[in-house]
Structure 1
């Protein structure tokens, strides 16, 4: 199974998909005149300050809670295990390609959230439903419903992997290694906790995310900054390695075969997408629930999530791995810091933290993995159910809930490498229909944005 998935991923994440992903981000950046850079400060103001006008607008949750739910889905083990996997398989240069896909991906994320607000609908429960399937069908036209169905099917399926199986698998691995808790016990605990939260609906999920995400981020980022301070003399050399190996191969050493530039690009881009989800369309599945007086406002708020995840959280993980020497897949022959070459994913990041902060550092990573992973599980439940609702209607959403919770348990006893490979496959399959939809609707994105910023009142508020 693993060999088959790896072959599929080699095709799905080959040059055509990477060109489509990066090309869409660059195209939208051009159409929006670099909005992710020129309006970034305004976007953060919208995200973290209360807007009295938005409080009375149509929607189910606040802009902030919508962002926190989205971040709960993004700030997961892709930022810990995913970054470590990208750097060990693609070298330090992989972090550069993660930055690049994150920066252009901010325009993509903006576009997804904007269209989510424009084409959202109310379901029979009085809650808003949104996502790529709605803006593909309602925006491009009914003739493209097949493309909308493909996205919804792939996304509902992907939620069981990237949002669930990968997370529960990594949590179980950490619980076993750090706290000696058997995988099946972790599975039972996750099933109970997940069930209690997800069956409370979007408002309970967003409330939990609004508490979880800030606490998790502060703990993890604060610890990372402390490690960088302790290893301050390695920060500049770390950046030199990142930029050097983004364009030149990593040399072979001992039994280590080296890393070519193509590997740095592939792993940096694929794991970058896995961590910030730009291009996958997931933010559109929650952005439509936000209360806002204008779609552009929520789109700007959603855009900040990609910056926080990629430029801040992923960078912290990557720099910690590099300054401590734990990026080296040869076990230290290249970095000069000897370590177990068999370490991978979250275990490698934990070892890097432990090298500077001792056992406290290892426990910080372990706790972060557990809470990051759990928040991702509950956020992706929202995504999966939105897609399942589109495909089969509200009547059968409870069926998906049972499937989802079952997958949570199964993920704790599956092989890690197979789960990661499956997650990469699912990402690509939901990304392609979404990007096609964005390209078809670029005129709507551009026009709505221009109208908003042409309004004198909005310019004053900025």
Structure 2
């Protein structure tokens, strides 16, 4: 066990320790500039996915909105409640500014990776679509890179389906025990049973559940934050000034000053919104859309929702209260968010937050499971493998909930995600010219007056696409 811990710590240091965050930031800035600031150009278009006015929905397919909510459910989790609190404790209020900054850059990375996942998706025998970075590597870079795709798939299963699902079960059980005194085994049993019902329904049941849970979850949490902001509206300008002043070192709140704010804001922001890490594209590829860039825009919106909206809610709840004291040793993580909320509106809010954590975590479990299923389907076509994975996920969620000290189950998640991100970023860098071609095609159609651009594989004969995945493409004239 000691050898494994040493190995995983070394991998973590080589990825998250110093190399990966700058790589994500620099590549995200490059994508933003080289694409002509595409995430800002299409910003108003992002909101159309909520009403479905930007696509013609097929009831037999996963809609763009359903794919959005599944991915939001995955991005939004413990990082939005506990992670923001950790960032503020370690980096001061300035960390919030850098979380915002990395989200604005990450919106472009998310757009690019989702666009490529859509481009290289394949139609399954049952009519569903499958895609993601592993398939983009194979069909975009060639069969010689299969080894890279396999590394990606293995790391995706290890980090998200195993490690993070154990963590989500642990988080829910801990919150239920602390606030409601519910035994861990009871929470674990309920959570495992609910997980089983959803995962055996496949991506369609996951999408339908997300279409209900995610709006309720987000509106519930945002609503509480807005109440707290309104109650403290006079202090809001001062908090914003503190965030900006600390971000640039004009007013140091913690040891390390501006450096601590940047490091913690960027890292926690990336952990939360997952832009560029290669996870959300697996869900993005399931959607029925007319053009790959349409889903890219949608996934860019999910980063905005995750960080600019929901993480900001947590930040203001903490910074508008008296529980957080800059530079002082004390509580952090979910306890800081929970006690800050109690400080604002009373003890009943801790139960409210526990329900929010349950919804956040359950949505993440659904998302994490599908990532594993998609990765496994890439490595093997044996249907029994998927059944084994489903049983394993239910057991992992239960074990994570009942074993408060079972950190060994998910200690390897961060280094595995580090490798996952490196592989994904290498593939994105190599395939970025293809993404730019699609973005230009989308723009050209909009400029020509086409309200809903349509992807035509025949116009890109050099790309290894699946024509059956694009039923709206113009039909070739009969000879």
TM-score scaled by length of structure 2: 0.87
Indicate conservation of the 8 Å contact 2:322/2:343, yes or no. no
Unpaired segments ≥5 residues, structure 2: 453-479
**What SS does the corresponding residue of 2:325 show, helix, strand or coil?**
coil
Aligned mate of 1:297, from 294, 303, 311? 294
CA deviation string 1:233-270 (max 9, x = no partner):
32222222222222329868xxxx83444333332222
The CA deviation at 1:280 is 1.3
- Return the alpha-carbon distance in structure 2 between the equivalents of residues 10 and 87 of structure 1: 22
Question: How many pairs align?
Answer: 447
Indicate conservation of the 8 Å contact 1:101/1:269, yes or no. yes
**Partner of residue 137, structure 1:** 138
Indicate conservation of the 8 Å contact 2:273/2:307, yes or no. yes
**Partner of residue 54, structure 1:** 56
Does the C-alpha gap of structure 1 residues 430 and 456 become closer, same or farther in structure 2, counting only changes over 3 Å?
Answer: closer
**Partner of residue 436, structure 1:** 426
**Partner of residue 399, structure 1:** 388
Indicate conservation of the 8 Å contact 1:96/1:243, yes or no. yes
Mapping for residues 47-446 of structure 1, pairs under 5 Å: 47-51=50-54, 54-56=56-58, 60-160=61-161, 163-248=164-249, 258-328=255-325, 330-331=327-328, 341-395=329-383, 396-412=385-401, 413-415=403-405, 422-446=412-436
**Partner of residue 473, structure 2:** none
Indicate conservation of the 8 Å contact 1:161/1:426, yes or no. no
**Partner of residue 476, structure 2:** none
Unpaired segments ≥5 residues, structure 1: 332-340
- Return the alpha-carbon distance in structure 1 between the equivalents of residues 250 and 190 of structure 2: 44
**Partner of residue 39, structure 2:** 36
Does the C-alpha gap of structure 1 residues 3 and 271 become closer, same or farther in structure 2, counting only changes over 3 Å?
Answer: farther
- Return the alpha-carbon distance in structure 2 between the equivalents of residues 415 and 105 of structure 1: 34
The CA deviation at 1:367 is 1.2
- Return the alpha-carbon distance in structure 2 between the equivalents of residues 456 and 216 of structure 1: 34
The CA deviation at 1:420 is 7.5
The CA deviation at 1:60 is 2.8
- Return the alpha-carbon distance in structure 2 between the equivalents of residues 276 and 351 of structure 1: 24
**Partner of residue 438, structure 2:** 448
- Return the alpha-carbon distance in structure 2 between the equivalents of residues 433 and 200 of structure 1: 30
Indicate conservation of the 8 Å contact 1:132/1:148, yes or no. yes
The CA deviation at 1:120 is 0.6
Does the C-alpha gap of structure 1 residues 375 and 156 become closer, same or farther in structure 2, counting only changes over 3 Å?
Answer: same
- Return the alpha-carbon distance in structure 2 between the equivalents of residues 46 and 232 of structure 1: 31
Q: More deviation in 205-214 or 360-369?
A: 360-369
Indicate conservation of the 8 Å contact 1:47/1:301, yes or no. no
CA deviation string 1:69-96 (max 9, x = no partner):
1111111111111111121122222212
Indicate conservation of the 8 Å contact 1:250/1:259, yes or no. no
- Return the alpha-carbon distance in structure 2 between the equivalents of residues 327 and 3 of structure 1: 33
The CA deviation at 1:445 is 0.5
Name the Cα RMSD after superposition: 2.4
CA deviation string 1:393-432 (max 9, x = no partner):
3421111112222211222224387777544333322111
- Return the alpha-carbon distance in structure 2 between the equivalents of residues 161 and 269 of structure 1: 25
**Partner of residue 460, structure 2:** none
The CA deviation at 1:176 is 0.2
- Return the alpha-carbon distance in structure 1 between the equivalents of residues 82 and 407 of structure 2: 12
CA deviation string 1:200-226 (max 9, x = no partner):
111111000000011111111011011
Indicate conservation of the 8 Å contact 1:102/1:306, yes or no. yes
Does the C-alpha gap of structure 1 residues 366 and 258 become closer, same or farther in structure 2, counting only changes over 3 Å?
Answer: same
